[in-house]
Structure 1
Amino acid sequence: MQAPRFPIEPLLPAILRSLAAHPRLVLEAPPGAGKTTQVPPALLDAPWLAGRRVIVLEPRRVAARAAARFMAQALGEEVGGTVGYRIRFENRVSARTRIEVVTEGILTRMIQDDPMLEGVGAILFDEFHERHLSGDLGLALALDVQAQVREDLRVVAMSATLDGARLARFLDAPRLTAEGRAFPVAIAHVPARRDEALEAQVRRCVLDALAAHPGDVLVFLPGAREIARVEALLADAGRDVDVLPLHGDLPLERQAAALAPADDARRRVILATNVAESSVTAPGVRVVVDSGLAREPRQDPNSGFARLATVAIAQASADQRAGRAGRVAEGWCYRLWPASQRLEPQRRPEIAQVDLAGLALEMAGWGSSDLRLPDPPPPGALAAARELLQRLGALDAAQAITPFGRRVLALGVHPRLGAMLLAAEDAPARALACDLVALVEARDPLRGGSGLRDDWQSRHRALAALRGGRGDPEAHRSALQAIDQAARNWRRRLRVDAEPPREVPAHALGDLLAHAFPDRIARQHPDDPRRYQLANGRSARIVDESALYGEPWLVVSELRGDPRGGDGLVLRAAPVDAAALERDFAARFVEEDRVVWDARTRGIAAVRERRFDRIVLDVRPLPTPDRSRFADALVDAVRQLGLDALPWTPGLVQWRERVRCLRDWMPELGLPDLSDAALLDTLDDWLKPALAGLTRLDALDEADFGEALRSGIDWSLRQRIDALAPVRIAVPSGLERTIAYAHDAPPVLAVKLQELFGLAETPRIAEGRVPLTLHLLSPAGRPLQVTRDLASFWANTYPDVRKEMKGRYPRHPWPEDPWSATATHRAKPRGT
């Protein structure tokens, strides 16, 4: 039987030529072109590969297994020979393996463990458009290896819908595009009916598609829960119809059944997650039913982890899904959203919307924070991740990885959970820690019920009941089975021989979880038993019916924050033994003498404070405080209260504005920055000396404060300030008038019009660089005109002003020729 030909085959010689001449390549190929299964074998005989392995990165386990199986069958071999795969908790490679298909976390571990990548000649990043954080990191590490030590390493980024031009620029790489083999696909939008649930909408569309069109039906649903519900609803689809689920948690044989060719006498409805969007092919599909939804990682502020959230897909994903219907003949796609709904063009990269603790630890383990990532991590999220890693003990104060952090990194799990696994001291505790990792990573196995179940104890009891052959009516059996399997995998991974305990002491779960959530260890408030203060300084409450009521110490693994800044709500927690905290977190218990600002008394408070992290355990007054620290406390008070708490006088306010103006007008003077931000940043330099010996902020007098503010400017420069930006200026009437300064506006001279007779030009300051803004006033002091061009005012505007004002103020001079008139601040004598 002749092997099937793939659209990408004519492009294979060009791919080989490109990689022979250049170490990087961007390859665009539509779904079904064959890039995943045809490119890797085509590289095996390339001279530059020199007998080394080809690593193929697949974002999903199902795709990794399927791709390896297809390539092995094409070679007439079993998986584990020339072609193998490695995914979490599963390894099918041997010494003969030349093509190794791996998932994203596996690749990161390979590079971290062997930066030289001995025996690897090429790394292919398949479906790179999905922009998983691990894929971005894997690419950055591979590029760093290539730049530093392995110029001969080939790196290929492949996808059907990536922004190829942008990625080619980023990689400085050639770009090749393969032709597809697709038939027309008719698109129909079938939005939900009034009050129609998603599962019912899917059932309706599937039955309509089976009746109207030939071939198999591929249904895209967000996750396993929706697949199970739709599978149950389609039980009556027909005797000749097989309904098959396809997602990553299924046993291998069930995944294989969904991907195998169908019996010609039967039709199939394949219910899949977005694993079927790319990399794997379900043969015989003529109809796609697309829910328009997917589960993607998003930062969950409640748990501190990235959790899978149900989100609308991007337009690129919608196009790929529809294309699955046109692989063998013309097809049809039912989209279960209105035609008016607009989708985002491309999927947002995970790096912009997930927890970055794992990335920060990987970067520290690699020894560089300058990795070339396709998109930079958000600075705030990265800083928060590093702060957490320091709390866990994985990074030191200089943000370098610690020996403990390297052990956490080697586990390939979220750093919180890795820290917990390593904290378990004996085999039974490690078995319990494996249970907790499985429970924390999984969806909640308990049913909703009537109230909030906020304790971990009930969940572990449900898991123990499953293992003991007892059912729990309040738990999902399938969810518990998945958790049990994950816990077994972790015990096997960590070589834990002990069986998990059937019964757990009251604080055992919390004592372990505290190592994963040291920032969320919480102590009961002395005046409110439902309120807790957390180690990170925040506060939280438990619900009235909480199973945790009365516990003096908790570790809170899930916490719903209050957007208004009030107490959070404890969603899930476990009791912690105070003695275990003293033993395991001794360094976080501190006793410190503090001299602080007391906002209530507006004075200094000297106390001896005992704390666990930021939880205050005990406060006692100090009879003999260290008075040398009072100034520090008063400086902190100004930081809290702001600069307005200082004794500003109008003259000092104007002096500061004069300096700020001159700093802009005449930068060559080198005047200091006296903005609010700069003054607050330098309080220790200019204000603290003036506060020495004081016990209250209001004891600082105006003169000392003024001298402190001027302390950064020497005497000669102060004289120049007075000359260049004078407080007052002489006017033709013989008097001096005040100039008003403001940093964000021109300087203002408010003066009665009669006092400027005979003055032809606008007065200027700062060596003539800055004209004053003249507020010309009536004899009663009311504004008549604002101008920065006095000559133009006399020539053009004054005649109209004179005509109007002469009758209103007859005792004041209004000469026809203001240029030669005598300036005055007085009215005319009576009778003149």
Structure 2
Amino acid sequence: MLPVQNIYQQLVTTLQSNPITLLQAPPGAGKSTWLPLQLMRDGHFKRIVMLEPRRLAARNIANYLAQCQNENVGQSVGLRVRGESKVSSNTRLEIVTEGMLTRMLQNDPELSDIDLLIFDEFHERSIAADTSLAFALETQSALRDDLTILLMSATLDTERYTQFFDCPVIQSSGRSYPIDEVYIPIKDESRWLDAIAPLIKQALNEQSGSALVFLPGQFEIVGVQQALNDLPSNCLVAILFGEQDKANQQAAIAPAPEGMRKVVLTTNVAETSLTIEGIRIVIDSGKRRAASYNLKTGVTELTTQSISRSSAVQRAGRAGRIESGVVYRLGSKQTFERRNSHDNPEILTSDISQLMLEAKQWGANISELTLLDTPTAQQCTQAMSLLTMLEAIDGKGKLTKLGSNMLGFGADIRLAHMLLKAQALEAELPGIYRLALYLVALLESRINSANELSLALHSQQQRPHPVFKQQLKYWQSRLKVTDSNSELNTEYLGLLVALAYPDRIAKKRGNGYLLANGAGADLNTDFWHNDDYLAIASMGGHKGTRIFAATALSPFELQDYLPHLFTTLTRCEFDEKTARFIHQDEVKLGAITLTSQPSKQKLDKTERAKAWLNLFTKQGFALFNEQPDAQQLLIRMSLASQFMPDTFPAISEQQLIETADDWLGVYLQDIKTLEQLKKFNYFEALQNCFDWPQQTALKALLPLRLTVPSGSNIKINYQLDGPAKLSVRMQEVYGLTSTPMLANGNLPLLMELLSPGKRSLQLTQDLAHFWASSYRDVQKEMKGRYPKHFWPDDPANSVATNRVKSKM
């Protein structure tokens, strides 16, 4: 009896009375297999759709459940993954991958006839899963109050999810057998891969049964496979990863022949919802390949990262599915315990362009979707920029017809844009569509070894890699294109790459390149390109700036096909190096300047003022000669906004720099030279940031000068942090019994009392206390040094003076 059977009735009751439910069940509980099948058989729901994060798991679950029904897939149990759809009018339980569920929702927001959505392995938190869940929640609240949602995983962040969704959680025990843990510390973390093959051999010697070895990707799998060529003859080595064809995947999953042991080298494709018979040893490298988005370059690169503790638990669970097992973890137990509890969700670490486009197709902004984690403003800005370059949205941010078609294409939106545009250009540019299919197959197969894309394509045409052949066959079949044996015409290759990666069009700059998105790029060490312009298809490496695959490009040939990328403008700015104005007519492609020549337009005052403002934005107030009164005014205005925010608007030096066009621009129109600009007195311009009543209030609350008892008008020195300061000769404040108040008592005044020779005698913020205490010591000393000046015994009640005794 499977553990999930023990909570089945409780779960059914909960599902029937709640719109959303969480099920936490360890590996082996039966949540991905027995549970959906039983829900279908019992007829609690008319039609169930279960989302699986990976195609391999989706196929295997669908096949297993169909076998349980003594049927083929496509009857009561259906399957829908990329390139494969097996459903019928009899289908009541459908296993789908994440992108498929999003398409189903976009095509039919009401999800007609579907009344239960199951999100399996929800802890993986892919962008596609977050997207489809957000849409499903909106469908549930606005269109289908009878739609039920079940989120399932072995390692859910239960407390957070129950609070966010305001829903109940059902917990099941697992059917996992006991699993021993063995930690293998390593001295040099950078050489972790070298330790894997010896560890596999150690585990095979110490344990019985077959082994499942978790590695980050195909590169590591191939390396370890080569290092295992001396295993005993009864040990078979199999490999398993997501891009394999179905036959090789099934061979890796199949149990070892009788009398044989199997070592399966896999990525995290085998981490969840997959049982490989005979496995009782798991060897965990503790690594995974995960998307890391570089906001500066706009490149999503796959980097090798340490897995979280929850992923490690999932992997270890593979060892205890059939019998008691053991997990060998590379690294110490202390290192393991320092890992994050859960992996970061993809929505915070990846390009969100697809999500943004999906949201626009859905009729919403990202901010309106119910998302567990919200992308940053930077991610949204980057996505808007890319979608505009891909013609998926217009200048107002609205979805275009092309953008809608790109979403329904079933490919990365960059490649969809390229294929759709190539298809439209085929009549004008014969052969471009066939070339586009080859390029998509090359990029999706990830087997390219040549930096020059044209060489890579010719190489694959002559000696195709199996994965490339599989991808090319898929796209030719999908788009109903019959291939020919003729040589590829790579004349249009630069245009195709630019259609897919317009932000990575690059212009040579020194030893590297400047990208259209403003980032810099470096050539790979063995890259032989020296072209002035490149179209880059693949980047990554340290800081995401290394060029891996590109082709030469003539940017002006793009103007007929991508005119929206080009901008004609007049640039007017002051060149600090040459100390002169630059007034040029330019053609730009993003951040790249393609042509620049002296402007034919007359330089007007407004343009010149903009140039001065740009210089001010760079240098700030340091651009102007020192102006104590203006500097003090800025401090007083800032203090006023701090102490009385209801009366005065917020003012700060940085804010003024950012909004200089509003308050300073008009004053700069008649300034013709840098010398004039430096001498410009910005007091009036700054003062007018406050209206007349505010200026009047400022003078009363934070006066520039203070009249002391002698009648002198003494300047106050303000500072942003700390008290204001009044430096005045002591004789001039006789008779003053308390320290003056500023800003309605909010700002203390520090009085610096000076000698007749203007040397500092005392600093005080409590004048009355000074008169009654330490003044006596000052009086004794000063009477002898300045006998002609007045030093009364009772200064608090004496007459102030700015004269010597003889002239009082």
Instruction: Indicate whether the TM-score tops 0.5.
Output: yes
Deviations 1:217-241 (A, max 9, x none): 2222222333333334334432333
CA contact (8 A) 1:428 1:498 kept: no
Q: Answer with 110-119 or 711-720: which moved more.
A: 711-720
TM superposition shift of 1:84: 2.3
CA contact (8 A) 1:537 1:615 kept: no
Aligned match of 1:633: 611
CA contact (8 A) 1:428 1:501 kept: no
Q: How does 1:498-537 map to 2 (within 5 A)?
A: 498-499=483-484, 502-505=487-490, 507-523=491-507, 532-537=513-518
Question: What is the DSSP-based 3-state SS (H/G/I as helix, E as strand, rest coil) of the residue aligned with 2:109?
Answer: coil
TM superposition shift of 1:349: 0.6
CA contact (8 A) 1:302 1:559 kept: no
Deviations 1:748-799 (A, max 9, x none): 1122334333322111234565442212334543434432222223334434
CA contact (8 A) 1:746 1:772 kept: yes
Q: CA 1:569/1:272 → structure 2, altered by over 3 Å: closer, same or farther?
A: closer
CA distance in 2, matches of 1:559, 1:327: 40
Aligned match of 1:158: 152
Question: What is the DSSP-based 3-state SS (H/G/I as helix, E as strand, rest coil) of the residue aligned with 1:584?
Answer: coil
TM superposition shift of 1:519: 2.3
CA contact (8 A) 2:296 2:519 kept: no
Of 732, 739, 758, the residue aligned with 1:762 is 739
Aligned match of 2:37: 41
TM superposition shift of 1:313: 0.9
TM superposition shift of 1:188: 1.5
CA contact (8 A) 1:302 1:560 kept: no
Give the aligned residue type for 2:563: A
Q: CA 1:582/1:752 → structure 2, altered by over 3 Å: closer, same or farther?
A: same
Aligned match of 1:391: 389
Q: 1:607 aligned to 2:584?
A: yes
CA distance in 2, matches of 1:561, 1:801: 71
Give the aligned residue type for 2:712: L
Q: Answer with 354-363 or 720-729: which moved more.
A: 720-729
Q: Answer with 538-547 or 275-284: which moved more.
A: 538-547
Of 477, 481, 484, the residue aligned with 2:466 is 481
Q: How does 1:93-104 map to 2 (within 5 A)?
A: 93-104=87-98
Aligned match of 1:660: 638
Question: What is the DSSP-based 3-state SS (H/G/I as helix, E as strand, rest coil) of the residue aligned with 2:440?
Answer: helix
Give the aligned residue type for 1:411: F
Aligned match of 1:428: 431
Of 99, 104, 109, the residue aligned with 1:105 is 99
Q: CA 1:260/1:805 → structure 2, altered by over 3 Å: closer, same or farther?
A: farther
Aligned match of 1:241: 235
Aligned match of 2:23: 27
Aligned match of 1:357: 353
CA distance in 2, matches of 1:162, 1:601: 62
CA contact (8 A) 1:215 1:285 kept: yes
Q: 1:144 aligned to 2:124?
A: no
CA distance in 1, matches of 2:651, 2:188: 63
Deviations 1:290-322 (A, max 9, x none): 111122222267984433322111111112222
Q: CA 1:215/1:784 → structure 2, altered by over 3 Å: closer, same or farther?
A: farther
CA distance in 1, matches of 2:53, 2:515: 37
What 5-or-longer segments of structure 1 have no aligned partner?
447-452, 468-479
CA contact (8 A) 2:73 2:86 kept: yes
Q: CA 1:26/1:646 → structure 2, altered by over 3 Å: closer, same or farther?
A: same
Q: CA 1:301/1:100 → structure 2, altered by over 3 Å: closer, same or farther?
A: same
Aligned match of 2:456: 459
CA distance in 1, matches of 2:196, 2:514: 47
Aligned match of 1:585: 562
Q: CA 1:612/1:186 → structure 2, altered by over 3 Å: closer, same or farther?
A: closer
Of 371, 374, 384, the residue aligned with 2:372 is 374
Deviations 1:99-136 (A, max 9, x none): 11111111111111221212222111111111111111
Q: 1:556 aligned to 2:536?
A: yes
Q: CA 1:176/1:697 → structure 2, altered by over 3 Å: closer, same or farther?
A: same
Question: What is the DSSP-based 3-state SS (H/G/I as helix, E as strand, rest coil) of the residue aligned with 2:163?
Answer: helix
TM superposition shift of 1:154: 1.1
CA contact (8 A) 1:435 1:500 kept: no
CA distance in 2, matches of 1:409, 1:128: 23
Q: CA 1:251/1:171 → structure 2, altered by over 3 Å: closer, same or farther?
A: same
CA contact (8 A) 1:686 1:709 kept: yes
Of 669, 677, 684, the residue aligned with 1:692 is 669
Question: What is the DSSP-based 3-state SS (H/G/I as helix, E as strand, rest coil) of the residue aligned with 1:617?
Answer: strand
Q: Answer with 655-664 or 388-397: which moved more.
A: 655-664
CA distance in 2, matches of 1:195, 1:634: 53
CA contact (8 A) 1:647 1:705 kept: no
Question: What is the DSSP-based 3-state SS (H/G/I as helix, E as strand, rest coil) of the residue aligned with 1:637?
Answer: helix
Q: Answer with 620-629 or 84-93: which moved more.
A: 620-629
Deviations 1:788-814 (A, max 9, x none): 222223334434555666677676655
TM superposition shift of 1:521: 2.3
Q: 1:739 aligned to 2:716?
A: yes
Q: CA 1:379/1:674 → structure 2, altered by over 3 Å: closer, same or farther?
A: closer
Give the aligned residue type for 1:509: L
Give the aligned residue type for 1:397: G
Q: 1:649 aligned to 2:627?
A: yes
CA contact (8 A) 1:303 1:557 kept: no
Q: Answer with 93-102 or 206-215: which moved more.
A: 206-215
- Between the two proteins, the alignment pairs up a number of residues equal to 798
CA contact (8 A) 1:352 1:377 kept: yes
Deviations 1:233-261 (A, max 9, x none): 33443233333323223333443344344
Q: Under a length normalisation based on structure 2, what TM-score does the superposition of the two structures give?
A: 0.91
TM superposition shift of 1:581: 1.4
CA distance in 2, matches of 1:188, 1:541: 43
TM superposition shift of 1:726: 2.4
Q: 1:312 aligned to 2:306?
A: yes
CA distance in 1, matches of 2:484, 2:351: 32
CA distance in 1, matches of 2:719, 2:407: 56
CA distance in 2, matches of 1:159, 1:254: 28
CA distance in 2, matches of 1:274, 1:701: 63
Q: Answer with 297-306 or 572-581: which moved more.
A: 297-306
User: Percent of aligned pairs with the same residue?
Assistant: 37
TM superposition shift of 1:42: 2.1
Question: What is the DSSP-based 3-state SS (H/G/I as helix, E as strand, rest coil) of the residue aligned with 1:819?
Answer: helix
Q: 1:344 aligned to 2:340?
A: yes
What 5-or-longer segments of structure 2 have no aligned partner?
none
CA distance in 1, matches of 2:327, 2:452: 45
TM superposition shift of 1:185: 2.1
Of 304, 326, 335, the residue aligned with 1:332 is 326
TM superposition shift of 1:175: 0.5
TM superposition shift of 1:435: 1.6
Aligned match of 1:267: 261
Give the aligned residue type for 1:278: T
Q: How does 1:706-745 map to 2 (within 5 A)?
A: 706-715=683-692, 717-745=694-722
CA distance in 2, matches of 1:500, 1:308: 34
CA distance in 2, matches of 1:765, 1:675: 20
CA contact (8 A) 1:610 1:619 kept: no
Of 593, 600, 609, the residue aligned with 1:622 is 600
CA contact (8 A) 1:129 1:161 kept: yes
Q: CA 1:434/1:307 → structure 2, altered by over 3 Å: closer, same or farther?
A: farther
Aligned match of 2:250: 256
Question: What is the DSSP-based 3-state SS (H/G/I as helix, E as strand, rest coil) of the residue aligned with 1:35?
Answer: coil
TM superposition shift of 1:592: 3.7
Give the aligned residue type for 2:640: L
Of 429, 439, 448, the residue aligned with 2:442 is 439
CA contact (8 A) 1:12 1:42 kept: no
CA contact (8 A) 1:358 1:415 kept: yes
CA contact (8 A) 1:122 1:153 kept: yes
